[in-house]
Amino acid sequence: MIVMETKNLGKIYSFDSIKVTALNNVSIQINQGEIVGIMGPSGSGKSTLMNLVGCLDRPSQGEIWIAGSRVDNLNDNNLAIIRSKQVGFVFQNYNLLPRLKVIENVELPLIYQGVPSHLRRKKADEVLERIGLKERMHHKPSQISGGEQQRVALARALVTNPSFILADEPTGNLDSKTGKEIIKLLQDLNNGGVTVLLITHDRFVAEHTARVIHLKDGEVIENEALPNPIREV
């Protein structure tokens, strides 16, 4: 089953009279339960692609389909609902709210879904348990390590049970050992059925996925299947 699909997706940024094509004619499909890497050098359009499929931005042309519905033409309110229910974001710099405790950060997406507080706490509890951070739930982000913060961000992405996880350079701010731990966690989650889209410029990170979509100058240049991805243990 296709979880996410783009059809002839394009994005043009206009600065005064100058137009820059960031993405051109990108058509990709992500299937349920896949772990896919999106790879390319800086300026290849991978961040633009992530913003579009994450419903943070609108395309200049083409279509985006998530879980069987077309989403590129939705209004702000409905895009927010898609982000809330279908997409789980993991950012390079974690993007946790510093004033909220770990457990409150994980609960945040559920608040905007209108989930009652006791259910929120229960779900956030379960996800933190799964991620192995239950004992840190009452800490503030500043009181835990970078690797732990990224795991909290992952827990926040998982808590709504989204159609796919969108991880943008999730190891970019981490040392290689902690980075490997995060990749292992993503692989474990994928083994448990979670669809993962991993955006990276790092060949080594991309080789942990089963398929790598290569981007260059805003276009897909290769769709490479990796029969034997690296497995972190």
Partner 1 sequence: MRLCQTQSERCKLNISHTLKIVISSISSNKTRNFLTMLGILIGVFAIVLMVSIGEGVRQEVNKQIEGLGANIIFVTSGNPAQRTESQRMGPPGMGGFMGVTPLTNQDHQALLTIQGIKVSPLISRSGILSYSDLTDTVQVTGTNYTYLEIASLPLLEGEFLSKTDEDALDKEAVIGYRIYTEILNSDALNKTVYINDIPFKVIGVLKERGISMMGDQDSEVFIPFKVMQDMANNENITTINVSVDSQDEIESVKKEITTVLKDIRGTENFRLTTQSQMLEITGTIIGTLNLALGGIAGVSLLVGGIGIMNIMLVSVAERTREIGIRKAVGARRKDVLWQFLLEAIFLALVGGVLGLLFAYIGSLVLKNFDVPSAITFSSIVIALIFSTIIGVIFGVYPAYRAASLEPIVALRYE
Binding-site ranges for partner 1 (CB under 8 A): 51, 54, 56-57, 66-69, 74, 76-78, 80-86, 89, 91, 95-97, 99, 108-109, 111-114, 117, 156, 160
Nearest to partner 1 of 23, 212 (CB atom): 23
Quote the tokens at residue 52.
Answer: 């579009």
Structure token pair of residue 123: 């779900």
Q: Which is nearer to partner 1, 83 or 214 (CB)?
A: 83
Give the pairing type, strands 164-168 and 87-90: parallel
**Shortest Cβ distance from residue 97 to partner 1 (Å)?**
6
Nearer to partner 1, 25 or 84 (CB): 84
Q: Which of 70, 203 has the CB closer to partner 1?
A: 70
CB of 77 to partner 1, least distance (A): 5
Helices and strands (H and E) in the chain: how many: 7, 11
CB of 88 to partner 1, least distance (A): 9
Which of 55, 215 has the CB closer to partner 1?
Answer: 55
Min separation Cβ 195 and partner 1, Å: 15
Phi, psi at residue 6, to the nearest 5°?
A: -115, 145
Radius of gyration of the chain (CA): 17
Residue 61 bridge partners (DSSP) = 10
Cα–Cα dist 142/88, whole Å: 22
Report long-range pairs for 17-23 (Cβ below 8 Å, ≥24 apart): 21/218, 22/48, 22/218, 23/48, 23/49, 23/52, 23/59, 23/218, 23/219
Q: How far is the CB of 161 from partner 1 (least distance, A)?
A: 13
